[in-house]
Structure formats: structure tokens, C-alpha cells
Structure 1
Amino acid sequence: MANKKLNIGKVPNLRFPGFESEWETKKLGEIATFSKGKGISKSDIEENGITECIRYGELYTHYREIITEIKSKTNVNTSTLVLSEENDVVIPASGETTIDIATASCILKSGIALGGDLNIIKTENNGIFLSYYLNSKKKMEIANLAQGISVVHLYSSQLASLSLSLPKLNEQSKISSFLALLDERVQTQNKIIQQLETLIQALRNQIFKRKRRFTDTDGRDSSDWKKVKIGDILKIGSGKDYKHLQSGNIPVFGTGGFMTLVNDYLYDGETVCIGRKGTIDKPMYHKGKLWTVDTLFYTHSFQSCIPKFIFHLFQTINWLEYNEASGVPSLSKTTIEKIGLQIPSIEEQERIASFLSKVDQKIQIEKAILEQLEMQKKYMLQQMFV
């Protein structure tokens, strides 16, 4: 994919062999026509609908650059709808933020009903190439075109003014095919992770409902589990604000996960973090020095229990059941301490923790692979377009 440079700014940094001509600069309005979708409300969505449809909000949450499988269906009369043609590119016409609205997807199926608040772009160019291009090199430019405060809007007249650099159709096809294959690999990796996460949760449910038992080293059945309260077997510490601390090498955990680094720590050892406010239903395990923000609890001083076992057990608790707020979900230390559990002997805890941790380690390995694939895709998107 070495690039033979011609005119700086007229060719990409990475290029497939055999392509040498400069890319041509054109306005999107010169190579495309524009139209709008027609309203399909949430109440129009039917599980057994006869017409596949796309609503604008799904571009943010469900679809990527290529749309082949359609999520929603409707029974609205097709004579009142706008239907897609293969190679159509759709971009939201309204949204909550300018970045969200700069989201393009190419539809590879004809006859799909396109909902309101969708800009429809029709072009003789490769729609997949155009979607990847708009979502990478042109994303910020599109975001800057959007107008509005509480709700932002993006009009076809604004999109028409967008300046693009385009190769010949055969090079567009080569680039789009390569990126589609890379995306397919990313999606496959996501499915692998989803399947493993489903597996480990099923195993946890079997183990903690005692449908799956672990024998001791002599092959004898494990001892009975005993009832305890969380406050009987561990202590709960509160996180603190960290913004006044300087950058360092200690991880800071919040309810959303790892956040940043500081030069001090609240706790050193094994811990299971529990959300105090916000995301309260995603316990996290950590070993070593850490700092937790004030929306997160951390556990310590474990008695008759193993932290990694507790982490897996906490994954089976419906934490939202203990929510104490009508708005943003929140938990109190007192409430957590009163939650009842059943735990086995230390020996069985060790076997359970070891067994489940092997599956969890596999998940972390697959997530690391996914991160590398996404970084590769990001790099390619930056290098393969002008």
C-alpha cells in the first residue's frame, strides 16, 4: 500500500499498488442529490412488521458505516413512506450534539423505509467509500456545519457545500472493500466478547444458585454455604475527589471505569469497587494501588471471603433493586452492608474464583484484541483518505 506521491494534498498517505492518479476535488453537491426521509414514529415500529425501516436515532446506537441487516420493521403503508435504493447514504438531519449528527451510513438494500429526520444522499460514487470518508476525515467539518443549541440540525444545502477529494471508482471500491473487511473483523470480535460474557454470567448464575458444585481435593462434595450480610465479611470505603492531585501513575476508578492517573492512592491491595451514584450495577475488581472518585465505593478488610470470589458474586446481584433515588441511581453504605449473601468455605471460594477468573481472563484478552483492531481501523481511516 505504498504511496507514490504526486501533488501534496491530492493523494492519501496510504494507497493500494496500481493506483497513481491524483484525487479530484469536488463539492458533495456536484456528485450527489439530496432528499429527506418521512416520519416513522416509535409507535409505528412492529416486531412482526412487513416493511424494514430505519429511524434516525438508530444511526447513533445501532448502525455503523454499512447497513445490511435492518433492526426495525413497520406496518405503515409503503405508499406514504420514502424507500431506499441500494447505495443510498443517510445522515441524521437532527440530533442532540454536533458530533452525533455527523454520522453517515450506506444502505445496501433497496426498499427500506427511511424515517423522518434523515438526510438521504444519492450518488453514482461508491456509497460505502463515502460513508467511511464522511465519518472520518470529514466528521468535524460536518459537525461544524450543524446549527442549533438544544437540538442541532443539519440541512442538505449545508452538506452540498462540503468539499471532498475523490479517487476513481475502482479505487473507491478497493478502499471500501478493505475497510468493510476490517469492520467485519471488528464486529466478529464484538460477538466473541458478547458470547463469552453471556457464558460467564450463565456460569455465575449456576454456581451461586448452587446448581454447579465443586468437590474438594479428595473428591468429596463441598460443605454447605452459610448466610451472611455484606457488612459481616468486608468493610466499605468511600472515594474522594482527585482533581487537586497531580498526574502520576496510580489508576483512578469511577463508575464508568478507569479514568486517569494521580500521584497518590486511597487503597493498596485487592478490592471490589461498587458504584455509589450513577452506574451502580457494574462492580469492578482491582489489585494494587488505586484511587476511587466520590461516586464509587471500594471494599477492604475481607473476612472469611476472597476478593475475587466476591467480585464474581457481586456480578449476580441486581444492584438497581437497592437504588435509593428517584433520579440518578444511588446506593448507600448502610444499604450495601445489609444485603444478604450465601458463601461457601474458603477452599470452595478459591476453586470458584479460579474457575471463573480463567473465563474472565479470556474476555480481557479478547477485549485487548478488539482495542487493537479499533486502533488499526482508526489509523487506516486517517491515512487512506485525503
Structure 2
Amino acid sequence: MTEKNKSIRNFPNSGNVPKLRFSEFTEEWKVKKLGEIGEIVNGLTYSPDNIDDSGILVLRSSNVQNRIVTLKDNVFVKTEKFNPVKENDILICVRNGSKNLIGKNAIIKRENEGLAFGAFMTVFRSPYNKFVFQWFDTKQYKEIVNKNLGATINSINGSDLKKFKIPFPSVDEQKKISSLLSLVDDRIELSMKIISHLQTSIQSYRQKIFSRKIRFKDISSKDYPDWEIKKLGEIAMRLTNKNKDNNQNVLTISAQYGLISQLEFFNKSVSAKNVTGYYVLNKNDFAYNKSYSNGYPMGAIKKLIKYEKGVVSTLYICFKFHSHINSEFMKQYFDAGFQNNEIEKIAQEGARNHGLLNISISDFFNIEISLPSNNYEQTKIANFLSSIEEKIETEKKILAQYEIQKKFFLANLFI
């Protein structure tokens, strides 16, 4: 715990007080309704005819991500009458086709002042919003939201929102709590920005490297031949070893997480009860899943990294690269998505000829891949891109720790 937080201590579990508390506070908390401490401000109703790029930006549910206002997927509306948001307003999604989005919220920062917000959103405005905003992240708030959803439409009306009961300490204690939690929020936001920046960087480098727009300075065309085009079947071999030991680590392919255990990804196994006939994969082997995956319309190719061994359905195409090919280079190549267009082109051709959008095993291994003819350049590229991935993973672990810390504080600093 930091120097700033040393005054936090456990509090006797009696009376209307939280489990964890700053030592200078001893009085019991009160309970207030949101309508007693603040007001509800309604959003702008507009039609598609009012949308105009020269109008005012209207904040909608999609502009609230991870409890932060993000100005992406923006809509502008031509209007003269609207309720502008103010600094420290809490923007809340109160109506949406998705039940899970009801109640999500963000606090308005100074740079967003003056913007409009849509009718499916509501603003809660009060002098206590920095504290209220933190309570809006608690399990208690989320449970109240779920209890108040409309019977026929996913919504919370303003009168119900005003009746939400919030545990309410003194203003000084509110400031202490909100200050601490805001500090954790800032660190979470910083980690997310770092991760986003690194993810953008690695994809940019992949595109430039594999399209040969950039090359390492110590690798010249004089000393190293240009890249060559090889068919996948020339540099890799298909794997068809069957599971004889009844290995139960059944893997699935995720565009985001790669080859991952079904138990981890789905929280259950969705495979057949008997998987003794499944294909066996060892660490660093690859698998291709023909089914759609986000960002990979004709399926994803992923390398087994997380486990020493696993099994996949025989619907997958499994393979490994020959020893002179750097498998990490190929992982980065596939993650860049350079094979996607060719796979889709082959599948579309098959659909025209046979009426089925699919790719055969022989066609799959005929995919053309551009790569350096020497292992040195392959390894250099692989190490460079892998180092960025390692930074991303390190930052994700830091983010996870801050999120755990935030959950702990939310569970213990509030009643």
C-alpha cells in the first residue's frame, strides 16, 4: 500500500459503515436517494434527417467505453436546442437493445464540456458526482440497475433512477474515497492507452515489414537476397497424429487469444465426450480453423504457445514448419493477416465451382507465402515483433493487477 493510503484500516463490522475505512472517520453512513442529492438531465431526441456533419457531436452509448468518453463512431446533429454536458456530469446509458449496456456510464471531463447527448442516455448532475461515479462501478449499483430494467424494453426511466439508494458518507470521506479510486482509475486508463498504442504499433510494423516497405538497416539486398515466394506445402508439413492417450485439453481458436483451452475460453468443454480421435498438437505447432473468427472472415491460423500439448477437432487443418523456417516469424506473418485475402479468394472460387464457401486441404497448402530466404532475417523480424508482444503482455498483467485492486476497494470501501 502506498504512503498516501497508509491511513486506511479495517473497521469493525458493526453499524452502517464499510469494512475498510480511512482512520479519521468514525461516524455512520447515511442512505440517500439519487433524486435527493442531484438531478436528472434528459438527452436530445433527433431523427436521421437531423444528422449533419456540421452539427453538434451527440454522445451515445458507443461513446462510452470502459467508463471513459471516447470520441469514435461519432454522430453530429444539426440543432439549436439541446442540454449540453458539463464537467463532472455522469453520462448514463438508460436505454439500449442490449441489456448488458444499460447502466454503463462515464464521467464528463473538461474537454468534453458543451457536447450534446442522445435520448437513450441520461446525465446525472450533482455536487457529489466524483463519489457517485465510483459507486456507479460497484456491484450494488449494477444489481439495482438489473432490478429496475423495464419489462418489455431494456431501459431505466428517470423517476426510477432518482429512487436509486446510495450509501452516503460525509463530504470529506467522499473526497478521500473518490480521490483514492480516481488514482487507480488513472493508472487503469494509462495502462489501457499503453496497450492500445503497442497493439497499433505492432500491427503497423507487421504491415510494413511483411509488405516489404521497411527492412532492418543491417540487412541489405547486396548481402541478403530478396524475399522469395513459397507455397505453404513447401515449407510446412501437415499433422494428422490422432489422440491415443485421451488428452482432455481440447483447444479452440480465438482471433484474440490464439489456440486456447475450451475450458478457459468457454468455461466449459463444447467438444465430443470422446476425443481420442482428435488431432494432437504440440507446442509451436499450428492449426487453421475454417470457421469465422473476428477479423478473420475465413478463419484464423494460430500457433500453440500456451500449452505443451493439446487436441483439436479433425475439422481443423494442423501443420508445423520445417526446421529452416522460424515458426515465430510465421506466427507474426499469420497474425498480420496477409494470408486472409488469398484464403478468401480460393474459397470464393470454390463456391463458384461447387456452391460451397470452403477451402480444401490441398488448396490450403497451395497458399503462397512471401518470406526471407535466410533464417537470420526471419529471426530478426520474429524477435523484434515478439519483443513488442512481450511488452503488451507485461502491460496486460499490470492492468489486471490494477483492476483487481479496484475491485477490492469497491467491495470494501462502500457499504
Q: By the TM > 0.5 criterion, same fold? A: yes
SS in structure 2 at match of 1:53 = strand
Partner residue of 1:360 out of 385, 389, 399: 389
Partner residue of 2:32 out of 26, 35, 42: 26
Q: Is the 8 A contact 1:34 1:122 kept in 2?
A: yes
Q: Which moved more, 1:32-41 or 1:132-141?
A: 32-41
Q: What corresponds to 2:253 in structure 1?
A: 254
- Offset of residue 115 of structure 1: 0.9
Does the C-alpha gap of structure 1 residues 43 and 214 become closer, same or farther in structure 2, counting only changes over 3 Å?
farther
1:362 and 1:284 mapped to 2: Cα distance? 20
- Offset of residue 175 of structure 1: 1.8
2:169 and 2:315 mapped to 1: Cα distance? 50
1:43 and 1:360 mapped to 2: Cα distance? 45
Letter aligned with residue 84 of structure 2: L
Alignment partner of 1:100 is 2:127:
no
Letter aligned with residue 141 of structure 1: I
Map 1:317-328 to 2 at 5 A: 317-318=337-338, 321=341, 322-323=343-344
SS in structure 2 at match of 1:227 = strand
Q: What corresponds to 1:270 in structure 2?
A: 284
1:295 and 1:82 mapped to 2: Cα distance? 55
1:129 and 1:298 mapped to 2: Cα distance? 53
1:177 and 1:295 mapped to 2: Cα distance? 53
- Offset of residue 283 of structure 1: 4.6
Letter aligned with residue 88 of structure 1: D
Q: What corresponds to 1:184 in structure 2?
A: 186
1:9 and 1:292 mapped to 2: Cα distance? 55
Does the C-alpha gap of structure 1 residues 128 and 341 become closer, same or farther in structure 2, counting only changes over 3 Å?
same
Map 1:92-131 to 2 at 5 A: 92-109=93-110, 110-124=113-127, 126-131=128-133
- Offset of residue 381 of structure 1: 2.0
Letter aligned with residue 366 of structure 2: K
Does the C-alpha gap of structure 1 residues 87 and 203 become closer, same or farther in structure 2, counting only changes over 3 Å?
closer
Q: What corresponds to 1:144 in structure 2?
A: 147
Q: Is the 8 A contact 1:91 1:118 kept in 2?
A: yes
Aligned residue-pair number: 368
Letter aligned with residue 286 of structure 2: V
Q: Is the 8 A contact 2:84 2:115 kept in 1?
A: yes
Q: What corresponds to 2:413 in structure 1?
A: 384
Map 1:206-221 to 2 at 5 A: 206-210=208-212, 211-213=214-216, 221=223
- Offset of residue 165 of structure 1: 0.8
Does the C-alpha gap of structure 1 residues 235 and 102 become closer, same or farther in structure 2, counting only changes over 3 Å?
farther
Q: Which moved more, 1:308-317 or 1:203-212?
A: 203-212
1:35 and 1:294 mapped to 2: Cα distance? 57
Q: What corresponds to 1:286 in structure 2?
A: 304
Alignment partner of 1:37 is 2:51:
no
Q: What corresponds to 1:342 in structure 2?
A: 370
Letter aligned with residue 25 of structure 2: F
Does the C-alpha gap of structure 1 residues 46 and 13 become closer, same or farther in structure 2, counting only changes over 3 Å?
farther
Q: What corresponds to 1:375 in structure 2?
A: 404
Map 1:163-202 to 2 at 5 A: 163-202=165-204
2:236 and 2:301 mapped to 1: Cα distance? 15
2:195 and 2:252 mapped to 1: Cα distance? 22
Map 1:224-239 to 2 at 5 A: 224-235=226-237
2:57 and 2:218 mapped to 1: Cα distance? 52
Q: What corresponds to 1:314 in structure 2?
A: 334
Q: Is the 8 A contact 2:339 2:367 kept in 1?
A: no
2:205 and 2:114 mapped to 1: Cα distance? 43
Q: Aligned Cα RMSD in Å? A: 3.6
Q: Is the 8 A contact 1:253 1:290 kept in 2?
A: no
- Offset of residue 316 of structure 1: 2.7
- Offset of residue 142 of structure 1: 0.7
Q: Is the 8 A contact 2:15 2:28 kept in 1?
A: no
Letter aligned with residue 39 of structure 1: T
- Offset of residue 278 of structure 1: 2.5
Identity of aligned residues (%): 25
Q: Is the 8 A contact 1:7 1:22 kept in 2?
A: no
1:163 and 1:338 mapped to 2: Cα distance? 64
2:315 and 2:168 mapped to 1: Cα distance? 48
Partner residue of 2:359 out of 296, 321, 332: 332
SS in structure 2 at match of 1:129 = helix
- Offset of residue 356 of structure 1: 2.5
2:205 and 2:108 mapped to 1: Cα distance? 39
Offset from partner CA, 1:290-346 (integer Å, 9 cap, x none): 3446886543254642221111111233455344589xxx86354543321122223
Using the size of structure 2 for normalisation, the TM-score is 0.75
Q: Structure 2: any 5+ residue segments left out of the alignment?
A: 1-6, 270-274, 352-356
1:131 and 1:275 mapped to 2: Cα distance? 43
Q: Structure 1: any 5+ residue segments left out of the alignment?
A: none
